[in-house]
């Protein structure tokens, strides 16, 4: 493991000792630098782009890729705190963030709706539920 990563992991453990973030971030950073085979000062924005493509081609989940990007971003922010002469952070939040797709709402089955309206006896309550049901379509 790179000495910079060890310092970063120790800093994370001091910051929040009960959190598992240090373990996961260390794993993500080891994976990235093993894949890239460059020192941390030589990483470019294009390397981050290539890493995102690599992770997506491997079929990694969007949340996993975003966590790895967050680990890299935090690592470089830590390096800047430690030494002002560190190269700038190659992870750009607006560029290196993958959006999650939104799921469409599912239809309620007719049997469930019938069971719901079977227990509603007041006309006012029935009208409110019908309004909510019909406005969702």
Q: Report pTM.
A: 0.72
Instruction: Choose among 69, 75, 92, 1: nearest CA to 41.
Output: 75
Task: Measure CA 21 to chain center.
Answer: 13
Which stretches within 16-122 are classed as H helix? 21-36, 45-57, 62-82, 110-118
Instruction: List pLDDT tens digits, range 5-64.
Output: 999 999 999 999 899 999 999 999 999 999 999 998 899 999 999 999 999 999 999 999
pLDDT at 84: 80
Q: Cα angle vertex 57, ends 6, 77, to 5°?
A: 30
Q: Spell out the domains of the chain, with CATH numbers in brackets.
A: 3-82 (1.10.150.130), 103-137 (no CATH)
């Amino acid at each position: 493991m790179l000495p910079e990563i060890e310092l970063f992991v120790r800093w994370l453990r001091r910051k929040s000792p009960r959190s598992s973030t240090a373990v996961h971030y260390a794993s993500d950073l080891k994976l990235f630098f093993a894949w890239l085979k460059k020192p941390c000062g030589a990483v470019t924005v294009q390397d981050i782009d290539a890493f995102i493509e690599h992770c997506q081609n491997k079929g990694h989940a969007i949340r996993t890729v975003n966590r790895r990007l967050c680990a890299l971003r935090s690592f470089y922010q830590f390096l800047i705190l430690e030494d002002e002469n560190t190269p700038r952070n190659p992870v750009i939040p607006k560029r290196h963030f993958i959006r999650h797709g939104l799921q469409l709402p599912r239809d309620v089955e007719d049997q469930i709706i019938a069971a719901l309206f079977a227990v509603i006896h007041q006309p006012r309550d029935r009208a409110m539920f019908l309004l909510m049901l019909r406005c969702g379509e």
